[in-house]
Amino acid sequence: MPIQLTSQAYCKMVLHAAKYPHCAVNGLLVAEKTKEKKKDSHGEPVLCVDCVPLFHGTLALAPMLEVALTLIDTWCKENSYVIAGYYQANERTKDSRPNQFAEKVAARISENFSEAAIVMLDNSRLTMSCFEPIVLIYDHHENKWKSREVTFDCFEDWSEAQKITSALLEGRSYENLIDFDNHLDDLRNDWTNPVINKSVLDLC
């Protein structure tokens, strides 16, 4: 079942990568929890309405990741969301394949959400104007993660996403993006990013 990204989810991922150009970054994608499972819901896309930026720098350590997953899971339950995917931007520009760590996290997410996807950011195509989507989406098929062709259908509204992301990059909004690492440095930093969410809404 394919995932779809809203403008808010897409632009926060890109802002996270832009804030730490010299580091790897990662985060979680959340979708709204659907109440009933329709019998023919196989073709319907899962809409990822938001993302939570997690860490930057050294990604592959377990304890804080566990804390983040548990805390965000609790938050999701309170807001009728579910963790539906994982995103990562690698440290090196030319490297956009999901690594062992990404697959592990995605496997963990799959335990709660069978159609979890991995979204990798293609650093080499990250520009201010965001002409084209820079994500690669991987689904789990027969024990392997396979990449899927990214079209404008992967977005709720690509032209809106493009416009908003480009505007926020130009305005250097990424300086105010909060990830879970920032939150651990100072608990007052809010990883739900209400300020950025409002900016996105204002630009819609």
Partner 1 sequence: MASVSEMYDVGWEEMRDKLRKWREDNCRNGEQIVDVGEELINEHASKLGDDIWIIYEQVMIAALDCSRDDLALTCLQELRKQFPDSHRVKRLSGMRLEALERYDEANKHYDAILQDDPTNTAARKRKISILKAQGKGAEAIRELNEYLEQFVGDQEAWHELSELYINEHDYGKAAFCLEELMMTNPHNHLYCEQYAEVKYTQGGLENLELSRKYFAQALRLNNRNMRALFGLYMSASHIAASPKVSAKVKKDNMKYAAWAATQINRAYKMAGRGTKENKCSMKTVEEMLESMQITMS
Question: 180: Cβ–Cβ under 8 A, 6 or more apart, which residues?
Answer: 52, 53, 54, 55, 64, 68, 191
First to last CA, the chain: 27
Whose structure tokens read 């938001």? 50
CB of residue 131 to partner 1, shortest distance in Å = 18
Minimum distance of partner 1 from residue 72's CB (angstroms): 9
Q: Between 115 and 182, whose beta carbon lies closer to partner 1?
A: 182
Of 37 and 187, the one with the shorter C-beta distance to partner 1 is 187
Q: Which residue has the tokens 């977005």?
A: 155
Distances (CA, A) of 38 to 41, 44, 83, 85, 91: 5, 10, 20, 21, 40
For residues 80 and 159, which CB has a smaller minimum distance to partner 1 in the complex?
80
**Strand order across the 3-5 sheet:** 3-5, 46-56, 25-32, 81-89, 117-121, 135-141, 144-148
Positions touching partner 1 (CB under 8 A) are 21-22, 58, 60-64, 66-67, 70-71, 73-75, 78, 92, 94-95, 100-101, 172, 184-188, 190, 192, 194
Taking the complex as a whole, the smallest distance from the CB of residue 191 to partner 1 amounts, in Å, to 8
Nearer to partner 1, 4 or 88 (CB): 88
N residues, the chain: 204
- Indicate the residue among 13 and 183 with the shorter CB distance to partner 1: 183
Shortest distance, CB of residue 33 to partner 1, whole angstroms? Answer: 16
Closest distance between partner 1 and the C-beta of residue 56, in Å? 11
